[in-house]
Homo-oligomer: A and B are copies of this chain.
Amino acid sequence: MSAPPQAQGPRRVDAAALDRFCRAVLAAAGADAGTVDAATRAMLHGSRLGVDSHGVRLLGHYVAVLQGGRVNPRPAMTWPADGGAVAVLDADNGHGALATFHAVDHAVGRARTTGLAAVAIRNSSHFGPAGAYALAAAEAGMIGLVTCNADSYVRLHGGAERFHGTNPLACAVPVAGGRPWLLDMATSAIPYNRIQLYKSLGRDLPPGTASAAGGIDTVDPAAAQMLAPLGGDFGFKGAGLAGLSEILSAVLTGMRLSFEIAPMAGPDLASPRGLGAFVLVLRPQAFLPEEDFDAGMRRYLAALRRSAARPGEEVLAPGDREWAEADRRAAAGIPIDPDTEAVFRDLVDRFGLAPPAFAAAPDAASAPPGASGAKTG
């Protein structure tokens, strides 16, 4: 069997170099300092942890929407409501990462007093990996829960058409002396990018995860027109969770429901998409002594990680896979797929910037982009 190009190993870039490159590009595109910081931080979260669908492959898109008018490159964010444990942030159609990191910071600060705090975000935009924001809360010693809705792509249980977006739920919990417990999941069975990936790999989709016209399930990525909700025969659960996300992200914020959101890819890159999002932060020490919370998390995770696995499989806590990939990429560099590399070259030419330095020799040390966890070759 001839090895596909991927098996040679993708081209890699050091995280620090990627960070500098993203910053330079976003600044050149007219983004203010806060946007440069936040968007880069969010993309690097994705690329460092192997959530490549929401990593630096988004850089070109973000430039397009910042310059196109959909995303305000210099927003003046305001707080239309702020009292007790609840605040509302108006993101002034700025970058979703700027708004959501800001919302988490605010909620963390408020939760120091109230024990828990929520921020509903209005007039925002695509925020990339939901887990980045949950993680920001955990890095501040708090439990973070984050959700947003997205343009329709997921059918309902028994449904024949696109309805909800992939509507992710992310939660991060601090673990003393270790990396946070980190769950970042679409409420569809699989994320949107999986269809593109399997199409490019010429592979069948897992059964029950995607549907063709009329909601009829298909394993052919070329025929897939929508995703199925998590749960297969029990997809009412995934659809219910997507609905919870919809209610918190769009109803509670007064923003657009999934089927009211213009497509992310365009063609309209000029009009704000009117997205909402929701952030909730809990301070463990408001509930019990810190040492008891820490001991509980340790006891729970120790039991989980030593519990018996099925033959040939492994048992992991949420986040374990991502942290292992982050370690591999910290050592070997971040893999950049050819399409993204082409986008980078275009940005370099357009803005007259230095390209990020690619590693000299390709290698297969870790998962190629988009296939984190999947075997190569």
Contact = CB atoms under 8 A, between A and B. Distances in A.
A79 interface: no
A262 interface: no
A94 B237 CA distance: 31
Interface stretch (A21-29, A228-236, A264-272, A362-370): A228-236
A230 B241 CA distance: 12
Interface stretch (A5-13, A68-76, A113-121): A113-121
Given A88-B288, A288-B253, A317-B243, A307 B115 contact: no
Given A156-B304, A287-B253, A293-B251, A243 B181 contact: yes
B230 A234 contact: yes
A247 interface: yes
Nearest to A288: B254
B84 A313 contact: no
Interface residues of A, number: 82
Contacts of A317: 243
The SS class assigned to the A binding surface is mixed
Contacts of A214: 310-311
B252 A232 contact: no
A3 interface: no
A297 to B, nearest CB: 6
Interface stretch (A55-63, A183-191, A330-338): A183-191
A109 interface: no
Interface in A267-304: 280, 282-284, 286-288, 292-293, 296-297, 299-300, 303-304
A303 B257 contact: yes
A233 B207 CA distance: 9
Contacts of A234: 189-190, 206, 209, 230
Contacts of A296: 250-252, 254, 257
A315 B215 CA distance: 12
Given A288-B88, A288-B254, A313-B158, A208 B232 contact: yes
Interface stretch (A31-39, A40-48, A159-167, A345-353): A159-167
Given A86-B115, A181-B247, A287-B81, A159 B300 contact: no
Given A84-B115, A84-B286, A243-B304, 8 more contacts: A116-B116, A159-B308, A160-B308, A183-B240, A183-B243, A216-B310, A252-B293, A254-B293
